[in-house]
Structure 1
Amino acid sequence: MHSLKAEHTLIISLREVLLQEQNLLVAADIDKLDPLTSRKAELINEMALTANQRHRSLAAAGFARGEAGMEAWLAAHGSDADKLLWHDVLDQTREAKELNRLNGMLINRQLNHTQGALQALRPQAQTGVYGPSGRTATSTFSRGFVAG
């Protein structure tokens, strides 16, 4: 249960970071994302370590690793509070996954917008211009340099 309480704390923290990230993405305040990205990576790493610890504890107690093993352990040994905590961890995890998915969509939208702006700044190639040979010619303008 110690491992599960730690996971619960971590997933709530991750969810808060994802919400902050989403607010920054909506506001297009990209400069403030770096610290959140680092914190998000730290939390995900800590969550993985904590989940692995829980899986090892379940296996040592004779239960399967993962959700099925946790459900079986809770049915055999868990209190109502333990079960509520486990279900809240699962709910918070689903919400965090959805927030992360939405944030990914916001990032892609911002990237597409930036790429569109860059494309608008690039010179457009002229098509349909034919040279003396009858072949399509690309017009390349060269400005000569005259030294005097």
Structure 2
Amino acid sequence: MNLTTTNLLECLQEEVKAMTSLAELLEKEQVVLVSGNVEDLAQVTVNKVKAVTDISALEKSRNKHLLNLGFSGDAAGVQSWLKQVTSESETAQCWATLLAVTGKANENNRTNGLLINRHMNVTQSALKILQQNDPSVAAGSFYGPSGHTTVSTSAGRGFAAR
């Protein structure tokens, strides 16, 4: 195994670690979304952004190694390279693991998107119910000048709810 091949294998191994971490973060995000714990969601999101940034850098590094070996810098390049280095079963296994973990992360992300959409729909429905018969909401005002909510009577005279 030459230096560039070794570098590529090491890069793939790091990608597997990073993608596994992202998949685990997405599973944690799913638990947080189901529980509705908004505070934990913020931290998971910060960690998820960092993980995606790390994965992107590793992918660029992998593609650079592929180009140095004379292959295209993409998944097709990895497949072509693997066909030529059939004796490198560790590399082939690492690539297969990366693809499997990436598939798991994609599925977790899809599920989380469905959960987020569900939460948004529930929130929007609740807001519609709250705004349904309140003329002050139609005018865009939830609160009066004193900072208290205002409620109008049908006779047109308002009073402040305290």
Pick from 93, 99, 104 the counterpart of residue 84 of structure 1: 93
Report the counterpart of residue 132 of structure 1 in structure 2: none
Spell out structure 1 runs of 4+ moving beyond 4 A: none
Runs of 5+ consecutive residues of structure 2 not aligned to the other structure: 1-8, 136-152
RCO higher in structure (CA 8 A, sep ≥6): 1
Indicate whether 1:16 and 2:27 are aligned. Answer: no
Pick from 63, 76, 97 the counterpart of residue 71 of structure 2: 63
Q: Tell me which amino acid in the other structure corresponds to 2:60.
A: N
| Alpha-carbon offset, residue 144 of structure 1 | 6.4
Report the counterpart of residue 143 of structure 1 in structure 2: 157
Aligned residues: 133
Question: For the pair shown, which has the larger CA radius of gyration, 1 or 2?
Answer: 1
Indicate whether 1:6 and 2:20 are aligned. Answer: no
Q: 1:55 to 1:141 in 2, by over 3 A?
A: farther
| Alpha-carbon offset, residue 141 of structure 1 | 4.7
**TM-score of the superposed pair, with normalisation by structure 2:** 0.76
Report the counterpart of residue 145 of structure 2 in structure 1: none
Report the counterpart of residue 130 of structure 1 in structure 2: none
Which deviations, in whole Å up to 9, do the C-alpha atoms of 1:55-105 show, x marking residues without a partner?
011011101111111112222235212111101101111111111011011
**TM-score of the superposed pair, with normalisation by structure 1:** 0.82
| Alpha-carbon offset, residue 12 of structure 1 | 0.2
CA distance in 2, matches of 1:120, 1:90: 45
| Alpha-carbon offset, residue 20 of structure 1 | 0.2
Report percent identity of matched pairs. 32
| Alpha-carbon offset, residue 44 of structure 1 | 0.5
| Alpha-carbon offset, residue 24 of structure 1 | 0.8
Q: Tell me which amino acid in the other structure corresponds to 1:5.
A: Q
Q: Tell me which amino acid in the other structure corresponds to 1:2.
A: E
Matches within 5 A, 1:45-64: 45-64=53-72
